[in-house]
Chains A and B, each alone.
Chain A
Amino acid sequence: MNSHSADRKVTIQLEINKEQYERDILASDILLDVLRDKIGLTGAKPGCLNGDCGACTVIMNKQPMKSCLMLAIEAIDSEILTIEGLKNTPIQRAFVEHFAFQCGYCTSGFIMICQALLLNDRNPSPEKIETWLSSNICRCTGYKEIEKAIYSVIELLNIKNQTNQ
């Protein structure tokens, strides 16, 4: 049985963006806080801290996860991907090209949910895109540019797929 006492810090190992990080944490530490304050990966943003907004979304074992809704200790033995691990990826470029942001605070969360969707389904239906994107809230863009960004990557993936066949 895994057990960690409140009376002392525990040392955990996390795999983030294919790198190993060892940190001393409290059992009650939220993954979002550990990412930002103990590891220095500040791409995941604290928004509502209530699981509503999606600004803190990361990818765990290929699934999107709100890092404010998770204890860091629960993330042991998982593959974590944060926005810092998506440098120069098609989805990141698509957000720039389609101007899929305004203030930018929600952008990393949106890029993560889009990337998670594409990891799970290279050709998602419009309904599926809408369902997944509904996990995140933007209060600037009106979402159309975000949708354009993900559709452009889907198109790119399909062109690549056809070229490879």
Chain B
Amino acid sequence: MLPYNFDYYKPQSIKEAIELYQLLKLQEKKPMYYGGGTEILTLGRLNFIYTDAIIDLKGIPECNAFGFQHQELIIGSTLSLRAIEENKLFPLLSDTSKEVADYTSRNKITIGGNICGQIFYRESVLPFLLSNSTVIIAGPKGTRKEFINEVFHKELRLDEGEFLVQIVTEKEYLKAKHISVKKRQQWKTGYPLLTVASLKKEGFIRFAFSGVCPYPFRSIQMENKLNDKSLSFKDRILTSFEYLPTPVLNDIEGSNEYRLFVLENTLSYILSYIGGEEHE
């Protein structure tokens, strides 16, 4: 049971959703866009999130899109992680998504919700960072299309009243050699210690991380070090750590020392798997 009640709206178009949000703001309400709603409901129950108006985006056709247009894969923000897991149009995304939470929860968690949520792991964003995908964002000023690497800094930077409509990925990235590794201290579900996703494009290996720092990230400096063929795998990995954007997380899931130990081993495995051509 939630400790408060709210209005519930299910608009059928982008325009309707945005106008509704603005109207509710004018009425001095605190509206929230709602995809799967798992975070709103669980954090709301604990009073960590408050809203008095829910705008459920699942009735908007563009948010439910899933398929190819021209040479691009279009993924609607309200698609469930299960749908993405089972329709393997973007294998790296399927591999990464299927490790989020558990099977039943993935029926409810949406890709947009996972990317825009408060829980800092947000693993579903990693494949999009690696494939330089674009995001379609709708808001009071209209619809904008941005490279995700331009607008995702710690989190997806949305202005007031905006929401994520779609993520667009060029077809060439879908078949690239890839791997996604999620490490937990124990058990097969639940929160991770860390997740590393990797994709090889034109001989260069890209890396994106979740659970290492307090937000998901892709670091070009780390990638450059990890691709330095003049160094052994171990030296590449250890020098890449100098470019971690923040101190490594130290929490109930694992200490910072343990995380670095696991990260080193994980990166070593990924380099071997994906073909990092170790210097002798």
A65 — nearest CB in chain B belongs to which residue? B107
B11 at interface, CB cutoff 8 A: yes
Given known pairs A26-B5, A28-B4, A52-B190, the reply for A64 and B107 (CB within 8 Å) is: yes
A54 at interface, CB cutoff 8 A: yes
B102 at interface, CB cutoff 8 A: yes
B7 A66 Cβ-Cβ under 8 A: no
Among A3-11, A81-89, A97-105, A155-163, the one that faces the other chain is A3-11
In the assembled complex, the CB of A105 is this many whole angstroms from the nearest CB of chain B, namely: 17
B104 A1 Cβ-Cβ under 8 A: no
A51 B42 Cβ-Cβ under 8 A: yes
A42 at interface, CB cutoff 8 A: no
A50 B42 Cβ-Cβ under 8 A: yes
Report which of B58, B107, B188 forms a contact with A63, defined as CB distance below 8 A. B107
Report which of B1, B6, B108 forms a contact with A70, defined as CB distance below 8 A. B108
How distant is the Cα of A3 from the Cα of B31 in the complex, in angstroms? 13
Q: Mark A11-33, 1 if CB is under 8 A from B, else 0.
A: 00000000000000011111001
B10 A3 Cβ-Cβ under 8 A: yes
A6 B102 Cβ-Cβ under 8 A: no
A135 at interface, CB cutoff 8 A: yes
A69 B8 Cβ-Cβ under 8 A: no
B188 A4 Cβ-Cβ under 8 A: no
**Residue count of chain B within 8 Å CB distance of chain A:** 36
In the assembled complex, the CB of A65 is this many whole angstroms from the nearest CB of chain B, namely: 6
Report which of A5, A30, A57, A113 forms a contact with B7, defined as CB distance below 8 A. A5
Given known pairs A28-B2, A50-B42, the reply for A3 and B104 (CB within 8 Å) is: no
User: Which A residues lie within 8 Å of B37 (CB)?
Assistant: 69-71, 74
In the assembled complex, the CB of A62 is this many whole angstroms from the nearest CB of chain B, namely: 11
A3 B105 Cβ-Cβ under 8 A: no
User: Which B residues lie within 8 Å of A65 (CB)?
Assistant: 104, 107-108
In the assembled complex, the CB of A44 is this many whole angstroms from the nearest CB of chain B, namely: 13
User: Which B residues lie within 8 Å of A68 (CB)?
Assistant: 41
Q: Mark B31-57, 1 if CB is under 8 A from A, else 0.
A: 000001110011001000000111010
A69 B5 Cβ-Cβ under 8 A: no
In the assembled complex, the CB of B185 is this many whole angstroms from the nearest CB of chain A, namely: 16
A69 B82 Cβ-Cβ under 8 A: no
How distant is the Cα of A26 from the Cα of B38 in the complex, in angstroms? 18
Report which of A5, A26, A74, A132 forms a contact with B103, defined as CB distance below 8 A. A132
A27 B10 Cβ-Cβ under 8 A: no
A141 at interface, CB cutoff 8 A: no
User: Which B residues lie within 8 Å of A71 (CB)?
Assistant: 8, 37, 41, 54
How distant is the Cα of A165 from the Cα of B59 in the complex, in angstroms? 43
How distant is the Cα of A27 from the Cα of B42 in the complex, in angstroms? 16
B12 at interface, CB cutoff 8 A: yes
Q: Mark B2-35, 1 if CB is under 8 A from A, else 0.
A: 1011111111100010001000000000000000
In the assembled complex, the CB of A14 is this many whole angstroms from the nearest CB of chain B, namely: 15
B104 A113 Cβ-Cβ under 8 A: yes
Sort A-B residue pairs by CB-CB distance and give the 4 closest, nearest first. A27-B8, A135-B104, A2-B10, A135-B102
List chain A positions with a Cβ less than 8 A from chain B.
1-6, 26-30, 33, 49-52, 54, 57, 63-66, 68-71, 73-74, 113, 130-132, 134-136
Using A51-B38, A70-B37, A130-B188 as known contacts, list a sample of 16 further A-B pairs with CB atoms less than 8 Å apart, ordered by residue number in A: A1-B12, A2-B8, A3-B7, A4-B8, A6-B7, A28-B5, A29-B1, A30-B1, A65-B104, A66-B105, A69-B37, A69-B38, A69-B105, A69-B108, A74-B37, A74-B56
Enumerate 22 A-B pairs (CB-CB under 8 Å) in ascending A order: A1-B9, A1-B16, A1-B20, A3-B7, A3-B8, A27-B54, A28-B5, A28-B8, A30-B2, A33-B1, A49-B45, A50-B42, A63-B107, A66-B104, A66-B108, A69-B38, A69-B42, A70-B108, A71-B37, A130-B188, A131-B103, A134-B103
